[in-house]
Structure 1
Amino acid sequence: MDLKDKVAIVTGASAGIGAATVKALLKQGMKVVGFARRQEKIENLVDNHNGKLFARCVDLTKPQDIIDGFAWVTKNIGPVHILINNAGVSIASSVLTGELEAWQQIMDTNLMSYAIASKEAVKIMKDNKMEGYIININSVVGYYDLFIPGNVMYRSSKLALRAMTENIRVELARMNSKIRISSICPGLVKTEMMSVNYGEQASESFYSKYPHITSEDVADTIVYVLSTPQRVNISELIIRPTGEDVKQMADI
């Protein structure tokens, strides 16, 4: 796909993989709209974006916020060609002792926002007869059970996302659509999520013990997937640090 001047929406764009993806897509000459609650952080990601970076304050746990965000992009920037569903939260919360509010935030952010955004994107892409692309950022924890009770809701959201992404792909195929969808599943990525959940000291100690990749590595993978010819749909891709053993990382 020729990415120059195409319109992309990136959710969870204010930090981590989302922020790195915004920068990578801008380098490809795209018009990039970042969705996140911290709008000012998106606006300050790059110094010179030639008028191609746009930031919208969107709470991805609120369906109407997402729908309104897509409507704004269509009206002010143009119909979306590429959607990068990246927003995610990880909150320690077991099923037996956890809080409903935490479960709801995990599922609304990690799964429901992806479904709502995908529905809006496909509708716009179909109306404009586009060969669009949706990329869902998943996780290798969707492949493993780490037997951490506090991790179960996060892991469940990633398992569900794998199933949903493949079912969207099949539904698009049965519609004879040219819209592609991929699930990119990173292993351990060094982002601020770990320090937010467990504190800076625990985060640095954890990353010092285990191999990890960077947000930029994932962003480069996204650009690669988008660059494949129309006949190619990489439906699922795992990107992990060399030497990773996920089951050894259960001691944080």
Structure 2
Amino acid sequence: MERYAGRVAMVTGASSGIGAAVARALLQRGVTVVGVDLRPDRMKGWQLKDCTGQLHPLYGDVSDEESILSVFKWITDNLGGVDILVNSAGLFRNSGLISAPLSEWKLILDVNVLGLSICTREAVQDMLRRGVDDGFIINLCSLAGHIPMSDSRNSMYFASKVAVKTLLEGIRKDLIARKSNIRVGQISPGFVKTEIYNAATGLPDNFWDSHFLEPDDIARAVIFMLSQHPRVQSNEQLTAYNV
């Protein structure tokens, strides 16, 4: 990770859950972090005494292209550009194909697929323009992108994660064709103890009494991927609770 000390990472969905854990882990290793979220004020209360990196909380709506572009402009104007992008923002909704309204489908795809794609496009173009050849794009995917769907109500969410998996391979091949050493990878966790599921599914209070992954587990997976030698292409990490 020493090569990224003092460099700039943009983390979406950074105010809570996995995004917050990733942002803190990067800050602890001296990385300058731009935390992008709909609720950036939540980041201002963080205790960062053990962190040597600088945190810049910014409002950004990944479902809105203009909002994303304004974030990248701020980063360019104030920090020079992005060296690491962690696409952590994500949305879960019960959204089957028979009864769910279009608005629910569109919201899932706008956040999980199109927002991720716009952030990736802008970050890679910025890196290529500045001649950054050791940049890294990391997507937070899901085991949902790898396993059969268990509940038909989750069909659009599962479809969005399959799309994320496919898009990663597309950007990897594009970068190879450009002879770029910018690396890409994705972390695909199972259930992680975050607030993303509770609001969508009305889970009971004792749901998390069972053993699930913690956000810090996923942050460590991100750091592991970033810390590999530049010759190592770590495309995929599947992370599940050991039962």
What is the TM-score when the length of structure 2 is the normalising length? 0.95
Q: 1:239–1:139: structure 2 CA closer, same or farther, 3 Å change rule?
A: same
RMSD of aligned alpha carbons: 1.4
Superimposed CA distance per residue, residues 47-76 of structure 1 (whole angstroms, 9 cap, x where no aligned partner)? 445671001111111011111101111111
C-alpha distance in structure 1 between counterparts of 2:176 and 2:68, whole Å: 25
C-alpha distance in structure 1 between counterparts of 2:205 and 2:85, whole Å: 32
Task: State the 1:206 CA deviation.
Answer: 2.5
Q: What does residue 119 of structure 2 align with?
A: 117
Q: What does residue 11 of structure 1 align with?
A: 12
Q: 1:109–1:203: structure 2 CA closer, same or farther, 3 Å change rule?
A: farther
Superimposed CA distance per residue, residues 137-175 of structure 1 (whole angstroms, 9 cap, x where no aligned partner)? 000011112331210000000001100001110110111
C-alpha distance in structure 1 between counterparts of 2:205 and 2:179, whole Å: 48
8 Å Cα contact 1:61/1:109 also seen in 2: yes
Q: What does residue 34 of structure 1 align with?
A: 35
Q: What does residue 92 of structure 2 align with?
A: 90
Aligned AA for 1:38?
A: R
C-alpha distance in structure 1 between counterparts of 2:224 and 2:79, whole Å: 24
Q: Which structure 1 residue ranges, 5 or more long, are not aligned?
A: 244-252
C-alpha distance in structure 2 between counterparts of 1:78 and 1:28, whole Å: 20
Aligned AA for 1:14?
A: S
Secondary structure in 1 aligned to 2:197? Answer: helix
C-alpha distance in structure 1 between counterparts of 2:190 and 2:147, whole Å: 11
Q: What does residue 249 of structure 1 align with?
A: none
Q: What does residue 76 of structure 1 align with?
A: 78
What is the TM-score when the length of structure 1 is the normalising length? 0.91
Q: What does residue 164 of structure 1 align with?
A: 167
Q: Which structure 2 residue ranges, 5 or more long, are not aligned?
A: none
- Kindly indicate whether residue 218 of structure 2 is the aligned counterpart of residue 215 of structure 1: no
Secondary structure in 2 aligned to 1:191? Answer: coil
C-alpha distance in structure 2 between counterparts of 1:146 and 1:159, whole Å: 11
Moved over 3 A (4+): 47-51
C-alpha distance in structure 1 between counterparts of 2:23 and 2:240, whole Å: 21
Matched residues, percent identical?
34
Task: State the 1:212 CA deviation.
Answer: 1.1
Task: State the 1:203 CA deviation.
Answer: 4.5
C-alpha distance in structure 1 between counterparts of 2:77 and 2:155, whole Å: 40
Q: What does residue 197 of structure 2 align with?
A: 194
- Kindly indicate whether residue 107 of structure 2 is the aligned counterpart of residue 105 of structure 1: yes
C-alpha distance in structure 1 between counterparts of 2:231 and 2:149, whole Å: 36
- Kindly indicate whether residue 179 of structure 2 is the aligned counterpart of residue 176 of structure 1: yes
1:38-53 to structure 2, matched below 5 A, reads 38-48=39-49, 52-53=54-55
C-alpha distance in structure 1 between counterparts of 2:213 and 2:53, whole Å: 30
